[in-house]
Amino acid sequence: MQKTTLVLLWLACWLPGFVSAQQDPMLTQFSFNPMLFNPACTGLNDFLSVSATHRQQWLGIEGAPVGQTISAHAPLSGKRVALGGILLHDKIGATETFELATAYAYRFPIGEKMQLSAGLQASIANWHADWIDVFLEDGIDEVFQNRQSRWLANFGAGMFLYNDHFYAGISSPRLVEHDLRRAADGNFELYAKTYRHYYTTIGGSIPLDDNAQMVLKPALLLKSTGWFSSFRSDERFQNVGSPTELDLDCSLMFRQTFRLGASWRTAVEKKRSSASSANLWAMYYLQNGMRFGAAYDLTLSKLRQATTNSMELVVAYEFNIKVKKVSSPRYF
């Protein structure tokens, strides 16, 4: 097969976890939309917030991951309860997913300044694969002579502890694991499977002067599919091929208007640790509540021999800008 076709099949069938933050969509600017991986972050900004993201992975590779997300969330009256929704599209090679999710969060005060948010998520996704469209250089293969479509219902949960200068969270937005392929006679032949993903986040906001004109914002995101995999009943899926992934991010906010950041993405395993990318990003806040962001990922893995880099764009709007005048300096 040609190189691009090999890469396409690799992305779509065997290693979606290793190359794109497991099977869930990967975002470099993860701090700006944490509800995508933790439903407990729903309504954290204390006002209606809408965000749209477009990500193009590995520019120049045919079939490389590309995806879009649209999210909206807000607290209800009293601000203890919050609701949100997510619309997600993700395409990798011959496979494509459309997902609609709703999120619910409830906040508990802990002392005078700390709060604990507990969140639940319910989702429905359509996963389909056009295997017949895959180009095979060596002729016809029965495995790739069909199209498949599955509806996948799911639910998730998360916890998020935070105050004005610190946050930490843990979540699994899709707890149900689904088998994605079925033989023609109705028996299950497991060629592909969705895996449960676990997320851990830690971050903070550190003012560098008395007027908070410059604020340092470190953040960490840890993603894994291997945790608790030994408890799976099917032994074939107890050893997950994708390593745990770590994103280390640090940004600087200037006068609540411009934010510049850099991050490092790497695998975290005893024998397979390797750097994936070094990332640069920026976010600009307008006075009317609109904000624009962009990220550029520099590929560091062996894939750099076959591709260029990756890019990401974010557009968001905060509906309380007339009340607060400036964007919140707290978490993200």
Give the model confidence (pLDDT) of 110-126 as tens digits.
988 899 999 999 999 99
Q: What is the mean pLDDT of residues 100-119?
A: 94
pLDDT-derived band of residue 228, with 50, 70 and 90 as boundaries? low
pLDDT at 141: 60
Q: How many domains does the chain have?
A: 1
CATH of the domain at 222: 2.40.160.40
pLDDT of residue 33: 87
On whether residue 331 sits in a domain, the answer given is no
Who has greater pLDDT, 253 or 332?
253
Q: Domain residues for 203?
A: 3-324
* Residue, of 250 and 18, whose pLDDT is higher: 250
Find out whether 117 and 110 touch, Cβ atoms under 8 Å.
no
pLDDT of residue 184 exceeding 80, the answer is: no
Q: Is residue 243 part of a domain?
A: yes
Q: What is the pLDDT of residue 46?
A: 80
Question: Over 50: is that where the pLDDT of 16 sits?
Answer: no
Domain contains 332: no
Alpha-carbon gap, residue 54 to 175, rounded angstroms: 25
**Digit-coded pLDDT (tens) for 258-299:** 999 999 999 887 666 678 889 999 999 998 889 999 999 998
Q: What is residue 271's predicted lDDT score, i.e. its pLDDT?
A: 63
Whether residue 248 is contained in a domain is answered as yes
**Has residue 8 been placed in a domain?**
yes
Query: 158 vs 236, which has greater pLDDT?
Result: 158
Say if 71 falls within a structural domain: yes
Q: Is residue 18 classed as helix, strand or coil in its secondary structure?
A: helix
How many C-beta atoms surround the C-beta of residue 244 within 10 A?
21
C-beta separation of 104 from 83 below 8 A? yes
Q: Is residue 148 part of a domain?
A: yes
Of the listed ranges 39-43, 226-230, 256-260, 296-300, the least confidently predicted one is 226-230
The conformation of residue 255, written as its DSSP 8-state character, comes to T
Share of the chain above pLDDT 90, in %: 47
> pTM (2 decimals)?
0.83
Domain contains 329: no
**Beta strand pairing call for 214-224 and 244-254:** antiparallel
